[in-house]
Amino acid sequence: MGRVILSAGHGGYENGTQDPGTIAGGTTEAQEMIRLRDAMVSELRSRRVSVLSVPDDLSQQQTIEWINTRARVGDIALEVHANAAPNPDAKGASVYYITNNNARASDADRLLRGLIAYLPVLSSRGAQPDSNGGVGRLAFCREIIVPSLLAEVGFLTNPDDRALIQNRREDLAAGLVAGLVDCSLAITVRPPRLSRNWHRDERQTPR
């Protein structure tokens, strides 16, 4: 299987200002996702899976460039985020993939199933095309030259989800890693071309 490339959402510098992401319950999305990412790195290494961890001080565009300069066929990239909503009752995990790509949709479903299997108390909001995101497209899903997914592991604005993110971090990490291993094995069977058009090229190929 290939390598796993992990990025913690937010935390970097955008226009000279550090981006904390969502702030709720006395913590920030950036802090919690860095901790989750670090737990995932440990879990992957315990399984002897090669992993690259994106530096935390990079902007979104720098993160994409950092990954693209190091990526090779067979790799998979994941960025972890916590969701937010004005309604504190909103809860659950979702995984985003590039719209109209059946292979990535399958990978998103694998990742989510792995997560929920380890933490069934966490509700699932399903695998989602990135066009369903608030801005209509997610750069992490579209601009990286290897298969890439973006996971929202729960709502930081929901007390129950926030407690899971903070107190069940090892289970979150283990579930995400289990899903990533399944994705990586599938990608090894059908490695894409490394080009900025691979998303468009791959979705034309029956799987």
Domain ranges of the chain: 4-201
Tell me the percentage of the chain whose pLDDT exceeds 90: 83
The pLDDT assigned to 198 comes to: 45
CATH of domain 4-201: 3.40.630.40
The H or E element spanning position 66 is helix 60-70
pLDDT at 59 over 70: yes
The pLDDT assigned to 193 comes to: 54
pLDDT at 206 over 50: no
The pLDDT assigned to 191 comes to: 52
pLDDT at 204 over 70: no
Q: Which of 102, 109, 99, 117 is nearest to 172 (CA)?
A: 117
pTM equals 0.91
* Euclidean distance between CA atoms 15 and 3, whole angstroms: 31
Q: Which of 52, 43, 106, 118 is nearest to 79 (CA)?
A: 52
pLDDT at 111 over 80: yes
